[in-house]
Amino acid sequence: MADNKNSNEIVYFLYSNYHVKIGKCAPKNQDINSEANQDAVIGRLKGCQTGNPHKIYLLGYMFGSESQWHKHFKEYRGNGEWFKFGEVVRDTIKELPLCVSQSYNIDTLVETGNLPERVLEYESNKEKFQDYMWEKENVRDNYEKKEEDLQFAGKNRLEISQFLSRMFSAGYMHLATKRKNRIKDWFGDIIEVDDEYFSSNNFSGANGISVRNAVMLFKNTKTHLELMAVLNGR
């Protein structure tokens, strides 16, 4: 079923305990990638998580019709809006042009380390993060393991690149040097001109991820790899 950009529904797909929930929410505008639409989906994810003993993972969302997807997968229905995540359902969803919130996707996939806390800090201090001096004092200057992370990234660049490419479905990510214009990565880290970072050409805006975040993700892959094994039917 094609993505209907004029739909009055956003259809989202949530994974938990070998089932997928296919739900809907009202779009805030007709830009599926907008922050307002992302927030609407994240609100539903958080609501579903309340009272659920199993961790819920955001697979993605798109414009469409919830009822059509329920009808399409009717023979795999479990309870309510939850469907058995078997081979047919899995392979169909994997081929969809889903929009994924990078921050919250990683927040749900990686449960170790301090990444969830850093994402929450960023979301709670967006206005402060617009102030470069505040960022420099609270984020950049407190980065005590910079040289250690740079050495680790250089030594393991191929493995980290392959891991990030798979994790973000971002084509080929590679270790590069920022040539012009300072940017923030997907989690608010500052990437200055001449800084090394893992670059992706598949996204606009913050085109990649800082070495610090890349190393943190790479070193804490257990939960992610276990989930990917389930999603890929291994």
Residues above pLDDT 90, as percent of the chain: 19
The predicted pLDDT at position 136 comes to 47
**pTM of the full structure:** 0.48
Query: Is residue 127 scored above 60 in pLDDT?
Result: no
106 compared with 16, residue with greater pLDDT: 16
Query: Is residue 114 scored above 50 in pLDDT?
Result: no
CA atoms within 13 A on the CB side of 66: 17
Mean pLDDT of the chain: 76
The predicted pLDDT at position 151 comes to 92
User: Which has the minimum average pLDDT: 1-10, 51-60, 83-92?
Assistant: 1-10
The answer to whether 161 and 175 have CB atoms below 8 angstroms apart is yes
Range from 3-17, 36-50, 93-107 that averages highest in pLDDT: 36-50
